[in-house]
Amino acid sequence: MDFKLENLMPLLVVLPLFAGIGALLLPPQRRGVCGLVCAASLVTFVLSLVLACNFDFSQSAEFQFNAWLPWVESFGLSFRFGMDSISLWLVLLTTFLMPLVVLGSYSAVTHRVREFYAWLLILEAAMIGTFLARDLIFFYVCFEFTLVPLYFLIGIWGSTQRLKAARVFFLYTFTGSMLTLAGVLYVAWLFASEQGVWTFDIGTLVAFAATTMSPAEQGWLLLALLAGFAVKVPLFPVHTWLPLAHTEAPTAGSVVLAGVLLKLGTYGMVRFALPMCPMPVMQYAPVIGVVAVIGILYTALICWVQKDIKKLIAYSSVSHLGFCVLGMFALNTIGIEGSVMYMINHGLSTGALFLCVGMIYERFHTRQFRELGGLVKVMPVWAFFMVFFSLASVGLPGLNGFVGEFLTLIGAFTSEHALGPRYAVMAGFGMIFGAIYILYMVGKAVFGPLTLPDTDNGDGNNGDNDGASGAGAGAGAGGGRHTVRDLNLREVVTLAPLAVACLVLGLYPKPMLDTLAAPAKALVQSVAINAGYEPADHDQFDRTDDTALNAVLKSQGRIPSTE
C-alpha cells in the first residue's frame, strides 16, 4: 500500500471540519449526534497518535510530514502543512481534549445539539490548522477563524451575560489580530519588493525579517505581532475579556478556551515574534518580563476576592500564562522548554478544573462560594478529582504543573541578558499567592460545613443514568433537602484520562523535555545570532559543536549561511 504519512496532515484538519458539517445533517436525536461527533474526535486523536509514533524525534527541530495542496497554490498562497515537536505536542493536546469535551457535554447541552457539536468540531479543525500551518495566510485564516465558532458557542449556549461576553471576546481579539495581519503583510510586501516574487511561506519570511529588516522595522513588527498574540494569551493589561468569556461560556467552551485557544497566542509568539524580531526581542525582553510578572501577581491577588468558582479559575489562567510568557522571554533553552511544557500542563489541569466546575453547575445551577461547600460529604469522587486537579494547578511536586512552572522560573533566574533573578523572585511570589487562592477554593467548596443551595435542583443528571458512584443528602442554608448524585460513569471516564496525563507528566517529564530541547535551542540560537549577540554560554550556543542542528537551521533559513 503506497500511503504516505504526509497525507494525514490535511486529514487532521479536514476530518473534524466535515464531521462538524455532517452533524448538521443528522436527525436531531442527541445520542446519534453525540455518537458521530465523539467518533470523529476519537479518530482525529488516533491519527495524531499515528503521526506522533512516526515522528523522528532525533530531528525534532525540523518540520516533518510536510504536505501541501498544489492545486490551490497561486499568488504565493498555498495550503502547506508541517510540524516540529512543539506543533506536535500542541496538536496532541487539542485532539486529546476534544473527545473528553464532547463526552463531558452530553448532559449539559440539551437544545440545538447539532449546532453545538458542529461548532465544536469546526473549532477543533481551525485550532489544528493553526498549529500545522506553514503558510502565513493559511495560519492567519485558521488563527482568526477560531473566533467564529467560539463566538457562537458563548453567545448561544452561555450563561445570562452570554451576548455581552461573546461581543467583548470577538472585538478584543479581532482588533488585535488585524494589527498582526498588517504587520505580516508588510513583511510579505517588503520581500516581494526586494525579491520580485510574492511568497507567504513562513520559513522564508521569518528568515527574511530576521536578517534583512532594520531594527526599527523589526520593532514595529514586534509591536504588531504582540497586538494580536498578547490579547489571545492574554497578557496584562489586555486580559479583561477573558474572565467574562470564561464565566459566561458553556463548560465545553471554557475547557477549549483554557486548554487550547489561549495557547494560540503563546504559540504565535514562539513561531513568529521571537524568530522574526530578534533585535527588539532582545532589547525589550525585560519590559515584557515586567508585564508578565505584573500579570502574575495582579491577577493572583484578584483571585483572592472572587465569589464565583469559575471566575477564580478564569483569572488564574491569566496568572499562569504569565509564567509561560516569562519563561519564553528569558531567551534561554530551559525557559523555552518550560514555557512550551507549561502550555501543555495548563491545558490539562485548568481544562479539567473547568470540567469539574461544570459538573457541579449541572447539579446545583450555581457556582457561588456562599451557596456551595463541604461537597466531599455528598460527592467524594468529584471531591477527589477537584483536589487532584487543584494540586496540579498549584504546582505540587509529582504532578504536571510543577515541572513547567519550575523550569520557567529557573529560565528567568538564569537568564543572563534578558531577565534575571529579580524577575524569578517576584514571579515566585505568584506561586505562593496561587497556592493560597487555589487552596482557599478547595477548602471552601470541598471541605468545611456542608452548604447547598436553598432551591432543590434535582440530581442534575438530566436522565443520564449510565452509572453513579456515591450518593448523599444534605440540607441547604435555608433548610431545602437535596438528593445529590456523585459523578456517574460517563463523568469519571471524562476526568480519568486527564488525571492520568497530569500524573505521568509530573512523575516522568523527561521524554517530553527531550523532544523540546532541540527546537528550543534552535530558537534561542537563531535569536542570538540574528541579533548579533554571542553569549558566554558556549555550550549552549557554540556553532561548531552542533553541526547537525545548525544544518537544520540553515536549511530552514533560520540562521544565515557562513559560506
> What pLDDT score does 3 carry?
59
Rg (CA), the chain: 23
Burial class (CB in 10 A: 0-12, 13-18, 19+), 75: exposed
Structural domain boundaries enclosing 513: 5-555
> What pLDDT score does 288 carry?
92
Q: Flag whether pLDDT at 477 surpasses 90.
A: no
Does the N-terminal peptide bond of residue 16 adopt cis geometry, omega within 30 degrees of 0?
A: no
Express as a percent the part of the chain with pLDDT over 90: 41
Residue 562 resides in a domain:
no
Residue 547 resides in a domain:
yes
> What pLDDT score does 275 carry?
92
> What pLDDT score does 563 carry?
40
Q: Flag whether pLDDT at 94 surpasses 90.
A: yes
517 vs 7, more confident = 517
Per-chain mean pLDDT for the chain: 83
> What pLDDT score does 556 carry?
41
Mean pLDDT of 202-228: 90
- What is the tens place of the pLDDT at every residue in 363-416? 888 888 888 888 998 899 999 999 999 999 998 999 998 998 999 999 999 888
Give CA–CA dist 501/293, Å, rounded. 28
- What is the tens place of the pLDDT at every residue in 112-155? 888 899 999 999 999 999 999 988 988 999 999 999 999 999 99
> What pLDDT score does 92 carry?
95
Residue 88 resides in a domain:
yes
Q: Flag whether pLDDT at 223 surpasses 80.
A: yes
- What is the tens place of the pLDDT at every residue in 405-458? 999 999 999 888 778 899 999 999 988 998 899 998 998 899 888 888 864 444
> What pLDDT score does 534 carry?
59
Q: How far lies 526's CA from each of 112, 141, 171, 185, 280, in Å?
A: 49, 27, 34, 22, 14
> What pLDDT score does 304 carry?
87
Residue 561 resides in a domain:
no
> What pLDDT score does 351 carry?
92
Question: How far does Cα 263 stand from its chain's mean position?
Answer: 3
Residue 37 resides in a domain:
yes
Q: Flag whether pLDDT at 99 surpasses 90.
A: yes
Identify the CA nearest to 503 among candidates 359, 396, 376. 396
Residue 560 resides in a domain:
no
- Provide the number of structural domains found in the chain: 1
Residue 563 resides in a domain:
no
> What pLDDT score does 69 carry?
66
Q: How far lies 556's CA from each of 59, 199, 344, 501, 561, in Å?
A: 13, 15, 26, 33, 11
Residue 184 resides in a domain:
yes
Give CA–CA dist 542/540, Å, rounded. 6
